Amino acid sequence: MSLLSFAQKDEKAKKEKWKYEPNFMVGFDVLNTGASFFSDRKMYQGFISSKVKGDLHGIIEAGFESNVYQKNSYDAKVNGPFLKLGVFYMLAKDPENEFNGFYSGGKLAGSFYTQEYFAVPVRGFGGSSSSVAFPSSTQSSYWIEATLGGRVQLFDTNFYIDVNLQPRYLGYTTKQDDIQPMIIPGFGRSSSKFNMGFAWNLAYKF
């Protein structure tokens, strides 16, 4: 009993010692936004991150994507917002500025979107193929995502460049008439469960 209470006391002491200093970094993905002007994929995403304790940072990402899938006789359109919550750990950092460095972490993500399948193929023989259309519906998908990236301060300003890779694995998705979604906003092409995303952010530290 005494040991237990001692442990609790110890924990309390630790908690008291740790003081959260408000700090925020807000970033916006410039590269995907730029690419939106030249393709059917319109992708806007940004993040807010904050150093929680030591080398541990918390991050919230939000975005909106509208996209089409026109391949292998499929014709689909999706659009909707997505949200990601996660943490990352600074693996290596600049001794002069703790926000400069490389990091790695994980996120949970969800997307809530509208999809419309104009054509799902029926594979036939000898030029006899047809397709079935499905009406617009609202679906949601959830996935886990790793984050691997780096941050670097732009000269002596409060601006940072944050570049990261996002390998992701689709966990769960709602389906319309059992049809595996071919594309999911925020996730990308989803005929297979693995996918890779990236972000090239311009961030400002408050």
Residues in contact with another protein by the rule CB under 8 A: 71-74, 91-92, 102, 104, 120-132, 146, 148, 165, 167, 177-180, 182, 189, 191-192, 194-196
Q: Residue 26 or residue 131: which is nearer to another protein going by CB?
A: 131
Q: Residue 7 or residue 196: which is nearer to another protein going by CB?
A: 196
- In 3D space, the residue among 189, 74, 56 whose CA is nearest the CA of residue 123 turns out to be 74
Q: Could you tell me the CA-to-CA distances from 95 to 59, 73, 80, 99, 160 in Å, in that order?
A: 22, 54, 41, 9, 16
- Check: CB of residue 48 under 8 Å from CB of residue 30: no
Residue 21 beta carbon to another protein: minimum distance, rounded to whole angstroms? 26
**Dihedral-angle region of residue 187 (phi above 0 means left; psi in -120 to 50 means alpha; beta otherwise):** alpha
Q: Residue 72 or residue 157: which is nearer to another protein going by CB?
A: 72
Residue 139 beta carbon to another protein: minimum distance, rounded to whole angstroms? 15
Burial of residue 57 (number of CB atoms within 10 Å: 0-12, 13-18, 19+): buried
Q: How many CB atoms lie within 10 A of CB 180?
A: 11
Q: Residue 23 or residue 136: which is nearer to another protein going by CB?
A: 136
Tokens of 180: 């595996």
Q: Residue 5 or residue 128: which is nearer to another protein going by CB?
A: 128
Residue 125 beta carbon to another protein: minimum distance, rounded to whole angstroms? 4
Residue 131 beta carbon to another protein: minimum distance, rounded to whole angstroms? 8
**Cα dihedral 63, 148, 95, 204 in deg (nearest 10):** -10
Q: Residue 134 or residue 204: which is nearer to another protein going by CB?
A: 134
Count CA atoms closer than 13 A to 75's CA, side-chain side.
10
Residue 182 beta carbon to another protein: minimum distance, rounded to whole angstroms? 6
Give, as one character, the DSSP assignment of residue 180.
Answer: P
Q: How many CB atoms lie within 10 A of CB 141?
A: 25
Residue 49 beta carbon to another protein: minimum distance, rounded to whole angstroms? 19
